Amino acid sequence: MSEAPTSGAGRLLTGAAWAALLLALWLWGRDITEVPLGVSPTTGDVAAVGRPAGEALPPPHQPLPTARPERLTIKATHVRAVVEEHGLNRAGAVEPPPYDRAATVAWYRDGPAPGAPGPAVLVGHLDTDRAPGVFYELGTLRRGQKIGVDRADGSTAEFTVEDVSVFTKDRFDAAKVYGPREQGRAELRLITCGGDYDRARRSYSANIVVSAYLTGVSRSG
């Protein structure tokens, strides 16, 4: 795949360039020599692993002004992780944190910031050859659970999980996965590896995608 353009965040979010950029996330490969520590199962194209879709969720909160994310908190999976700003690597994919910082999360800085309008993208490792990564338990999240993002302006954007899905790489729909669920909302996508581990290709067969949206805000002090 050719490298996706990196300029013009608005165009990336609404056009084919954004879809092409995020499609490159599926190209993540991992050089490990042992059986992965564990992933969530998947059946068919998309397997929702959260609560029943009919369960009532809170109304969306009005989007916030843009501010850089600093820390991600997911109480349900015991995550409290530093958020790093990342761009694209030479393959055109969002650059994840290096493996020696597998407990951190990468925010795609040329897309929306968490809390601002549109789907903000955070990526992290499932595991390494030595230990679980920051998103090792991402697939255990359930519809209705909470995610917090501390921001540089002193606010904490509070998100509610809308669904948790596993998408296979051979049936990928970038617009469906990464496009906004509802125009004008502040949304969040948390992404890591999932599915089966292919020893020959040294990569996973799918990705776990958590979709959430802004439902509250709090401020320190």
Separation CA 19–CA 11 (nearest Å): 10
Question: pLDDT at position 29, please?
Answer: 37
3-state secondary structure at position 72: strand
Is the Cβ–Cβ distance between 186 and 129 less than 8 Å?
A: no
Two tokens, residue 196: 């089966």
Question: pLDDT at position 220, please?
Answer: 77
3-state secondary structure at position 93: coil
Calculate the dihedral angle through the C-alpha atoms of 80, 33, 165, 170, rounding to the nearest 10 degrees.
Answer: 140
Could you give all domains of the chain from N- to C-terminal order, each with its CATH number? 9-219 (2.40.260.10)
Question: pLDDT at position 20, please?
Answer: 52
3-state secondary structure at position 187: strand
Question: pLDDT at position 54, please?
Answer: 62
Is the Cβ–Cβ distance between 124 and 97 less than 8 Å?
A: yes
Question: pLDDT at position 88, please?
Answer: 80
Segment 141-174, tens digit of pLDDT? 999 999 999 999 999 999 999 999 888 877 767 7
146-151 and 155-168 as β-strands: parallel, antiparallel, unpaired? antiparallel
10-residue averages of pLDDT along the chain (221 residues): 30 46 46 37 41 77 98 97 90 80 94 96 88 93 97 98 87 76 95 79 80 95 64
* Residue 107 β-bridge partners: 85, 122
Question: pLDDT at position 39, please?
Answer: 42
